[in-house]
Amino acid sequence: DQQVKQNSPSLSVQEGRISILNCDYTNSMFDYFLWYKKYPAEGPTFLISISSIKDKNEDGRFTVFLNKSAKHLSLHIVPSQPGDSAVYFCAARNYGGSQGNLIFGKGTKLSVKP
Amino acid sequence: NAGVMQNPRHLVRRRGQEARLRCSPVKGHSHVYWYRQLPEEGLKFMVYLQKENIIDESGMPKERFSAEFPKEGPSILRIQQVVRGDSAAYFCASSPPLPLQGFYNEQFFGPGTRLTVL
C-alpha cells in the first residue's frame, strides 16, 4: 500500500511558466517532507524540504506547500527552465519509525519546453 | 569535497552468482542508507546503518541480502544467489547523525549501481 503517492507520472510545461507537482500521503506520523530531483543515470539530488509544523517553505524559484488536513503537498517552480526537466520525487520521513528511512513516491517526470 | 561514491556503476551477474555493491559516504557522515529502484518505480528503503551497527533493516528481503558498514572502509550491500528480479538500480545515501523530531539532516545520494542479472 503506497503511503506517498504522486498521481501524475508526467507533466509538460512551457519555459517561463509555473510548474506544479503534487504529492499525497496517508501516514499522519510523517514529520518531514522532501523533494528530490533526479536526472537519468544519476542519483537523486535534494531540492527542498518542509517540516510538518510549517505550511510553506521557499528557496529561490522553488516553493513547497504543505496542507496537513488534506495530507497533500505541492512543489511550485517559477519560472520553469529547460534545465528543470527531470524526474521529481516526493519523499516523507516517518518519525515513528527508525527516523532514518525515507518513503518515496513513484515520481513525476517534468518536461519544460523552450 | 567528494560526495557519496558508489562502485561499480554497472554490474552484470548471471543467476546464482553473488553481487557486492560498495558505498563510500560523504566524509564525516556516519549514517548510511540503501535504497532500491525497480523500473518505473520510486526508491524503496532497504536498510539503515551506522558504523558497525544495523539500525533498521525492515526493507531488506529476509534471504540472500545482507549489509554492513564496518568501522573502516565502505558500506557493502551483498546479494547472494542473484535472480532476475534483483535487477534494479541500488542507491546509497549518507547523512550526519539524526537530530530531534521536527528537524532533519538531508540524505545525500550517490549515483547508484545498476545491477543486471542475466
pLDDT, one tens digit per residue, over A37-83 is 999 889 999 999 999 999 999 999 999 999 999 999 999 999 999 99
Q: Following CA atoms A104, A111, A56, B33 in sequence, which dihedral angle do they give, to the nearest 10 degrees?
A: 30
Half-sphere exposure of B18 (CA within 13 A, CB side): 9
Q: Taking an 8 Å Cβ-Cβ cutoff, which residues of chain B contact chain A?
A: 4, 6, 31, 33, 35, 40-45, 48, 55-56, 58-59, 91, 93, 98, 101-104, 106-112
CB-based contact A100 B43, cutoff 8 Å: no
pLDDT over 90 at B2, yes or no: no
pLDDT bucket at A29, cuts 50 / 70 / 90: confident
CB-based contact A101 B42, cutoff 8 Å: no
CA-based nearest residue in chain B for residue A33: B104
pLDDT bucket at B96, cuts 50 / 70 / 90: confident
| Residue A12 touches chain B, beta carbons under 8 Å | no
How large is the average pLDDT for residues B38-51? 90
Mean pLDDT of chain A: 93
Q: How far apart are CA B78 and CA B81, in angstroms?
A: 10
The larger pLDDT score, comparing residue A18 to residue B100, is at A18
Q: Is the peptide bond before B8 cis (omega within 30 degrees of 0)?
A: yes
pLDDT over 60 at B55, yes or no: yes
